[in-house]
Structure 1
Amino acid sequence: MQKLALASALPECARCPVRSIGICARSGEQELRWLEDAKVHRQHRAGSTLAYPGETLAHVGTIMHGLASLSRVMEDGRSQMIGLLHPGDFLGHPGRQTTPFMVDAITDVELCGFQFKAFDRLLAKAPQLHSRLMEVVQDELDAAREWMLLLGRKSAREKICSFLVYLAYRQSKLRTTDRFPLSPSIIYLQMTREQIADFLALTLETVSRQFSSLARDGVTAPAGRQTLHIPSFRNLLEAAGEDGDGGVIA
């Protein structure tokens, strides 16, 4: 009944593909109305930059479609991709209008955006929105700690497999939408091997060699352009050095 009321009152929010996983996931009709009044959809082409390091963000918001990268740029021009923004992820942080990262669109990206000051005011009067955003920030911190383990202790093969497990987990949240109609055993990469190498702090040659090795060993199989079939998710977890609960295998 509540879903029917929402669909009638706020049809665009009801149809949103990330409604159940975005920052508005717990918001009731009143908070959604405030968000509806303040939001503006923004489109970014693949290869474009959404934000530069130190730049004042005019808008923050939720990724609705597409994939974006977070990178740190050093003074000598070297850069390192340190994170990805998937559908449902939030661009920006509460109380901070600048970003230390370069944010680039890997694919075409659609953002459900809000002017920074308007969103800050919304947080002050929308407790469910504020609570959900704090949860998102905590999830980001936990993910960063997991990534420290991957970069510091895992082999190249384990890094590639952990990356595939990570993609499978993120994409599983969107299986019910028409934007992600793929089978649970299919992983859509969306990134070039050069981008994957940058993300995992590996060389392109190492990434290519490991993908070939995984295919030979039957851990993965090609399933089309930028898609991989995973015959056994358990085998992928073992190759990543993880167990079924996401922990490291002893």
Structure 2
Amino acid sequence: MNVRQDIHSAGVPVLCQSCEARHRGLCGALEPDQLVELSKTASRHGVSPGAELMGDAEVVERYSNVLSGVVKLTKSLSDGRQQIVGLQFAPDFLGRPFKSESAINAEAATEVSLCSFPRTVIERMMRVSPGFEHRLLKQALNDLDEARDWMVALGRKTASERVASFLLMIARNIEPASDPAARSASFDLPLTRADIADFLGLTIETVSRQLTRLRTDDVIRIESNRHVTVDSLSRLQQRCGD
């Protein structure tokens, strides 16, 4: 990369100027000169659905910002069984700093775009930029809060409430429906019915019945079995049992 040519008049690399991770993600905590340094080692790349991004017990050499798409996180048991334990969206940070090996599997649930950096560079940025380290800690705490909320959903919510909660989570996070003030949303389901059932602790038949129920009640519209339109996010939220 020719950094001299890629620098905007404000000192921000062209690579970073329109990046959501810069504005809403971790990189927003960096000064222009730090962004320049980080951009020298950055590589953007696209990943097809089903591709493994990170393997369990794999040595971590690079971290990534999710620029678009949905990443599926799973945990595996010794006998090969898997459980979906989370989803990541733009501009989430993919990786677990301060650990030499990954303890989770990450797979592209949809077409995914990533901006990746060497682990050594990210760890150096954390040492020299308290703001960067603060944002990383904030995301980790947000992930913990979301995991606790999901424990409540799986342990106490009805099947109907779980499916509604899942759809609301997708509607609020998937692009382009990432505007927190949005009143409606339209998106393709990032998971198959089988994966949704696995994530929610339900059967495929139950997931299908609850989607049909929400459609019959005019809470959602479904086209081509995958595309979901929510005309009123507040109505959907009312079905979540929160």
* Same topology, TM > 0.5: yes
Q: Per-residue displacement from partner, 1:51-87 (whole Å, max 9, x unpaired)? A: 1111111211111122111101111211100001111
Distance 1:234 1:67 in 2: 23
2:129 aligned partner = 126
Question: Of 89, 94, 97, which residue of structure 1 is paired with 2:92?
Answer: 89
1:33 matched residue in structure 2: 36
Q: Is the 8 A contact 1:186 1:223 kept in 2?
A: no
Q: How many residues align?
A: 233
Matched, 1:63 2:71: no
* Distance of aligned partners of 1:241 and 1:5 in 2 relative to their CA distance in 1, 3 Å threshold: farther
Q: Pairwise mapping of residues 186-201 of structure 1 onto structure 2 (< 5 A)?
A: 186-201=186-201
Partners of 1:134 and 1:31 in 2: CA distance: 19
Deviation at 1:35, TM superposition (A): 1.4
Q: What CA distance in whole angstroms lies between the structure 2 residues aligned with 1:9 and 1:149?
A: 42
Q: What is the aligned partner in structure 1 of residue 163 from structure 2?
A: 160
Structure 2 residues without counterparts, runs of 5 or longer? 1-7
Preserved contact between residue 68 and residue 112 of structure 2 (Cα < 8 Å): yes
Give the match for residue 19 of structure 1: 22
What amino acid is the match of 1:166? M
Alignment map for 1:1-250 (pairs within 5 Å): 5-6=9-10, 9-171=12-174, 175=178, 184-223=184-223, 226-242=226-242
User: Is the 1:164–1:187 contact (alpha carbons within 8 Å) kept by the matching residues of 2?
Assistant: no
Q: Any gaps of 5 or more consecutive residues in structure 1?
A: 177-181, 243-250
Percent of matched pairs sharing the same residue = 30
The 3 A distance-change label for structure 1 pair 158 and 183 is: closer
Q: Which residue identity is paired with 1:27? A: L
Deviations 1:134-159 (A, max 9, x none): 11111111111111101111111000
Q: Contact 2:184–2:233 (CA<8 Å) still a contact in 1?
A: no
Alignment partners' CA distance in 2, 1:241 and 1:143: 16
Larger mean CA deviation between 88-97 and 140-149 belongs to 88-97
Q: What secondary structure is seen at the aligned counterpart in 2 of 1:43? A: strand
| TM value normalised by structure 2 | 0.88
Q: How far apart in 2 are the matches of 1:219 and 1:183? A: 13
Higher alpha-carbon deviation: 135-144 or 119-128? 119-128
How many Å separate the matches in 2 of 1:132 and 1:89?
Answer: 11
Q: Measure how far apart 1:12 and its partner are.
A: 1.6
Sort the Cα spacing of 1:161 and 1:17 in 2 relative to 1 into closer, same or farther, 3 A: same
Give me the whole-angstrom Cα distance separating, in 1, the residues matched to 2:37 and 2:98.
Answer: 19
Deviation at 1:108, TM superposition (A): 2.1
SS in 2 for 1:96: coil
CA apart distance, 1:218: 1.3
Separation in 2, partners of 1:197, 1:5: 50
Q: Matches of 1:79 and 1:47 in 2, distance apart?
A: 15
TM score, norm. by length of structure 1: 0.85
